[in-house]
Amino acid sequence: MVAQLAIESVLVAGRGPAACAVISACTRLGVKAVAVHSEAERSARHVRLADEAVLLGPAPASESYLAVDRIVEAARRSGVGAVLPVPPALAGNARLAAAVVDAGLTWVGPDAEVLERLGGDGVEPASERGFLAWVTADGLRFATPVARDRAAGIARVSWTPDGWDGSAPALPAAARRVAEVGWRGLATVGVSPDGELAEVAAGFSLDIAVLERAHGVDAVELALRSAGGAAAPAPAGRGPRAAVAAQLRSTLPPGTAGRVTGSLPVQSGRPADDVPVVAVSGYEPGDRLDGWYDALLATVSAGGPATATAAGAVSRELSDLPDVGVPHDGDEVCAVLARLAAGSSVPTA
């Protein structure tokens, strides 16, 4: 059943696997998705998936994907009713949020003044522990504890901690502040060892896939409902499950271009031993990896009766990948997943 949403069309501000996942969700929801792209990515996979696409500017991200004025102008030209920012760097940008609203468009995310107060600098939380939630006027919904492997300073694997039985997580007392300051929509939160909020990010971080697999909900639908004020009942989800999400990155040196020649993991909701697995790739065979951008190749996530089960399902999708044409960190990611599948803690260094 397609959700009834107040927002009918969006400019999807982002690129790579995350933008591909958001655009695919918009298609499922019956929402027109307009992609944006740089001169270097005119035929990128996220562009091919969208209903329409708009050129932002030259290859450097500062002149295209991260350029506030160009994003707003692209939204105006495309005729969409809303701007849906994908990466935390855009979703947490208070200047972009204000500019979108000033242009008479709907911003799919927390208000600009709320981002100024709580959104930090728009980066994904780096804390080893945290939680995820859909924040509404009634408080935190689908609250999910999350643990993270942050080797090499990047998020490679996120998961629900062992011992979480699907009941409401024991959130720190400071968690209520997220809703109290007026934050609405998705929130990825880092928690410091003393229980304080270390970081709060908007947008579609890797961790958001953990929330989706844990509760059987669509994060894009949640974000659009928050922004559009849909009167229809919010999705109920299903009984919470353990969940794991991992990402596969190219290890090409910065500034080095490449070309994908083999198939990357890509599917939606394929059951494997009663464990739903979702894989999203940003590239298909023949696609070029431009040296300007962080080469995140694919994300894979799964929900299951236990964290170990979900980790095993994700590992199977990433193990023994054929030659994809570019080097990647699959072995390192699978090593983390193997420890989780064996029920062991994951080293953070």
Q: Record the tokens describing residue 345, joined without a space.
A: 């803690």
Report the run of H or E that residue 315 belongs to, with start and end.
helix 307-318
Q: Residue 259: which of 286, 294, 227, 291 has the closest Cα?
A: 286
pLDDT of residue 2: 47
For 232-245, b where at least 16 C-beta lie within 10 A, e where not — what string?
Answer: eebbebeebbbbbb
Q: 106-107 and 82-85: which strand pairing?
A: parallel
CA torsion through residues 14, 94, 185, 187, sign: positive
Q: What pLDDT does residue 121 have?
A: 62
CA–CA separation, 49 and 226 (whole Å): 24
62 φ/ψ angles, rounded to the nearest 5 degrees: -65, -20
| pLDDT attached to residue 155 | 62
Q: Are 85 and 96 in contact (CB under 8 A)?
A: yes
- Rounded to 5 degrees, φ, ψ at 172 are -65, 155
Say what the pTM is: 0.93
pLDDT score for 126: 78
Question: What angle do helix axes 16-29 and 219-228 make, rounded to 10 degrees?
Answer: 70
Low-confidence stretches of the chain (pLDDT beneath 50):
1-2, 231, 272, 349
The pLDDT value recorded for residue 152 is: 54
Pick from 187, 222, 220: nearest CA to 88: 187
Pick from 19, 25, 233, 10: nearest CA to 141: 233
Domains of the chain as residue ranges with CATH: 9-118 (3.40.50.20), 129-341 (3.30.470.20)
Tokens 């080293």 found at: 347
Query: If we measure between CA atoms, which residue out of 71, 138, 135, 137 comes closest to residue 109?
Result: 135
SS3 328: strand
pLDDT in tens, 50-76: 999 999 999 999 999 999 999 999 999
